[in-house]
Structure 1
């Protein structure tokens, strides 16, 4: 059968709308990308040498119910137990571990903007696919890199993994701008970007199972890297950059999307990115600041929560995997609840898109910050600590209805580049927070961790306040100069090389700073 024949067959048998196929594959993409991103948080607890003392300082460290220490060499309760598995372990202190945990984000930050530009030029399909393929192959090679180069080898391979994942978020934001009508954006944002929570759930849990009973930590990297390679094959076969380039989408769905998608880039070739205006856009910089705040708290949780459960609350490795997964189960479920509420309220016109973004940014920043602080004051009470961390991450589910998709609102045509700026700069938090926490918690005491959590609280609440005051949900004039024209105070030259005569007059209503075209 010819390729055209196969396409006709697929057109008939594909009952699910192709935008939902994209959403499901996007969910798997983000899920697998996060398993590869966070698996080191679990495996590093088994890669390092643990010299655990039986000494317990009341009020500063938690007792270890799992420790079995021989009394024959006990000297004033300072006996040390070191446990080994078949693979080598490494003498890395807390600061070094923090540095290694942050290595991924060096590469991740560096490729955000190039990834967004590549997605706008060549399409989101190959930008996402090849990026995650690179990360998958690097993940499989991680045990080899560690055996050859130790900490240096691990740092380099993690940076390479970050290189691959950097383009993923901006490329998916662009894909959503091309595939998701405005009334479905929150839903698709939760479906795809909520896949991160699938990764955060299964990453720690499966890692805990693979590492239990002295399991080889290398198996964690082999499993998750291998799954990424399998995903790439299906992605190439099933997903495309735009509805109009999709070979077996139904005519009904294609017409529906062409009618309802607001991004003009779906129908015509875009002009070069208007960097002059983009870099001067206050709503974009406010969005960046909000994303920095959220990522500060979020990356602290996904990177360091397993260490908190293992080193402070003294869960064993299997329990740590389960306890680390529970908060993300709550976050994943709540992301759909918040997304459904947001889309419903926008559809019913109970509030604007901008108001919705501000509501759920507050839900996903300030409320989690409060629960994180309460968890830090629960001390060694395991039940209270886990419950409060679960509540904190549950409310972070509002992130996918707010900051994560706001770039599509303010710039549907250049959503890839804007998302690259937002997520790339915000991801610097992933570089800072693991190393900072390593410095703040050298002895892994409850008091040291409380200081780290107060830092998270301040950043989350402060950046959220700025966004609530100055954030926007309206398209900016520079996203489509043909439609909106230039603002009266623009003094930086035309954004396009061609003449701008005959453009529509621009009027700024008093209640809104967004341009509205007048014929």
Structure 2
């Protein structure tokens, strides 16, 4: 009785709609998950031994302003970094790239299982336990490095990736169950834009913690500890569906039940229709678009701190700030693009599919152009930073396009589809850090330019494919009872309820209205 009374009390005092509570907690979740993901990009610059080249080669490497200070220093003092008591490691560029990619080995591996778990047990616990695992592993990172060196770091980063793999597909499923179509772009920007909060705070706070010889272990303790605190709030505040929420208002529950089209909100779903899912052209095109975006995005979040530190010669504090600025721009622009997209869809100025294609182009081809321009800015640090900021600002359109497109084409199986898309796309996170390490052994401007041209080609190429074959319409296999089977389907029934003698339903081409035939 006391529990019921407490729930009734919360039902009355909760002024904020519960879908917004979910959105805010989701923002914190993605923010913290990305601080844990990207913090190694900063700390590795302080974990390794740096061997300066014997001479500066004009046109190939940038001069280090610190050397000018040292040359004018007539005292016995030096301006070198103060070493902490922790050991530094002799890891070459290829090894560093391999370690930076380790996270994505685990990340890719748990995407699809995470989506299936979310659909079976609910998004709440899939997200919660996944990020708890990452948080604990992050806190243990300094111990793993001390015990096992590069091998220990690789293993613990794989475990961190395994924890974060289910997060995106589970949140896509939560959005499909909690957010009406007309609000999805805004909520997508709110929650997945939290990644930019992490990309902002991760480098910036890491730079502060590492400045003046700070212990790099403190970075992992800080972000891992915040993740554990977040988990405690998540358990008590968020739930998998509106109908399972103990203190959601009756008005909000009624509104959501009327406006959310995912039938999984109201009934138990059939098993995932893998036979149709794997034959779905719109889904494979979405995979390609996500691969293109992630290729550019992961290159930026993983290797941009190294570019600022090793090529443009920013000190560690400046590197943290400069690495954060592009993501501030991306975070702000994501809400602008999301609001425009939702407005246009609501006013019926364009369809959902057209909107997804517009903002996929905004978030792929436009950033690709600015990245290339930045690579030709040479040692002009202000110009390079400005162009990288512009590229990431336009990349904010991703949250109104590719990131939420799985909810459009498969609202019932959004978790599995998002896991499929994001899991395959995250392979870019395995390839790009190692490839950049191979392409830039000497950290010269020319070597980095080749790496950036590779990013340009992948971003633009995948964008073109999505423009031709992408879709914003629910696919027939997402709800066979509603849409029926296409006329050319020859691979058997998808649902348990399909039996011989059942009235046949065909799915006419270019029309999602089911037509019955006897």
Smaller-chain TM-score bracket? over 0.9
1:197-239 CA deviation, whole Å, 9 max, x = no partner? 0000000000000000000000000000000000000000000
Q: How far apart in 1 are the matches of 2:342 and 2:80?
A: 55
Q: 1:70 to 1:346 in 2, by over 3 A?
A: closer
Contact persistence 1:54–1:80 (CA under 8 A): no
Name the counterpart of 1:75.
none
Name the counterpart of 1:177.
176
Contact persistence 2:128–2:235 (CA under 8 A): yes
**How much has 1:515 moved relative to structure 2?**
2.9
Q: How far apart in 2 are the matches of 1:310 and 1:112?
A: 32
Q: Write out aligned runs for 1:217-366 (5 A).
A: 217-366=216-365
1:176-198 CA deviation, whole Å, 9 max, x = no partner? 00000000000000000000000
Q: How far apart in 1 are the matches of 2:147 and 2:253?
A: 51
**How much has 1:506 moved relative to structure 2?**
3.3
Q: Write out aligned runs for 1:13-32 (5 A).
A: 13-32=13-32
**How much has 1:10 moved relative to structure 2?**
1.2
Q: 1:50 to 1:273 in 2, by over 3 A?
A: same
Residue 515 (str. 1) matches residue 512 (str. 2): yes
Name the counterpart of 1:205.
204
Q: How far apart in 2 are the matches of 1:269 and 1:507?
A: 23
Report the aligned-residue RMSD. Answer: 1.6
Name the counterpart of 2:87.
88
Stretches of structure 1 lacking an aligned partner (at least 5 in a row): 73-78
Q: Write out aligned runs for 1:436-447 (5 A).
A: 436-447=435-446
Contact persistence 2:97–2:433 (CA under 8 A): yes
Q: Secondary structure at the match of 2:491?
A: coil
Name the counterpart of 2:128.
129
Name the counterpart of 1:76.
none
**How much has 1:12 moved relative to structure 2?**
1.4
Q: How far apart in 1 are the matches of 2:504 and 2:512?
A: 11
Q: 1:251 to 1:504 in 2, by over 3 A?
A: farther
Q: 1:185 to 1:82 in 2, by over 3 A?
A: closer
Q: Write out aligned runs for 1:100-119 (5 A).
A: 100-119=99-118
Q: Secondary structure at the match of 1:53?
A: coil
Name the counterpart of 2:75.
none
Q: Secondary structure at the match of 1:506?
A: strand
Q: How far apart in 2 are the matches of 1:156 and 1:378?
A: 38
Contact persistence 1:69–1:81 (CA under 8 A): no
Contact persistence 1:186–1:343 (CA under 8 A): yes
Contact persistence 2:82–2:213 (CA under 8 A): no
1:238-296 CA deviation, whole Å, 9 max, x = no partner? 00000000000000000000000000000000000000000000000000000000000
Contact persistence 1:51–1:82 (CA under 8 A): no
Q: Secondary structure at the match of 2:379?
A: coil
**How much has 1:11 moved relative to structure 2?**
1.1
Q: How far apart in 2 are the matches of 1:214 and 1:7?
A: 50
Q: Secondary structure at the match of 2:514?
A: strand
**How much has 1:80 moved relative to structure 2?**
13
Stretches of structure 2 lacking an aligned partner (at least 5 in a row): 73-77
Q: 1:378 to 1:68 in 2, by over 3 A?
A: closer
Q: How far apart in 2 are the matches of 1:483 and 1:503?
A: 13
Name the counterpart of 1:434.
433
Q: How far apart in 2 are the matches of 1:419 and 1:503?
A: 32
Residue 367 (str. 1) matches residue 366 (str. 2): yes
Name the counterpart of 1:506.
506
**How much has 1:69 moved relative to structure 2?**
7.8
Q: Secondary structure at the match of 2:66?
A: coil
**How much has 1:52 moved relative to structure 2?**
1.8
**How much has 1:68 moved relative to structure 2?**
6.0
Q: Secondary structure at the match of 1:516?
A: coil
**How much has 1:89 moved relative to structure 2?**
0.6
Name the counterpart of 1:39.
39
1:56-97 CA deviation, whole Å, 9 max, x = no partner? 11100000002368679xxxxxx9978632211100000000
Q: Secondary structure at the match of 2:16?
A: coil
1:395-450 CA deviation, whole Å, 9 max, x = no partner? 00000000000000000000000000000000000000000000000000000000
**How much has 1:2 moved relative to structure 2?**
2.0
Q: How far apart in 1 are the matches of 2:15 and 2:45?
A: 46
Q: Number of paired residues? A: 510
1:139-169 CA deviation, whole Å, 9 max, x = no partner? 0000000000000000000000000000000
**How much has 1:497 moved relative to structure 2?**
2.8
Q: 1:68 to 1:146 in 2, by over 3 A?
A: farther
Q: How far apart in 2 are the matches of 1:321 and 1:81?
A: 18
Contact persistence 2:174–2:241 (CA under 8 A): yes
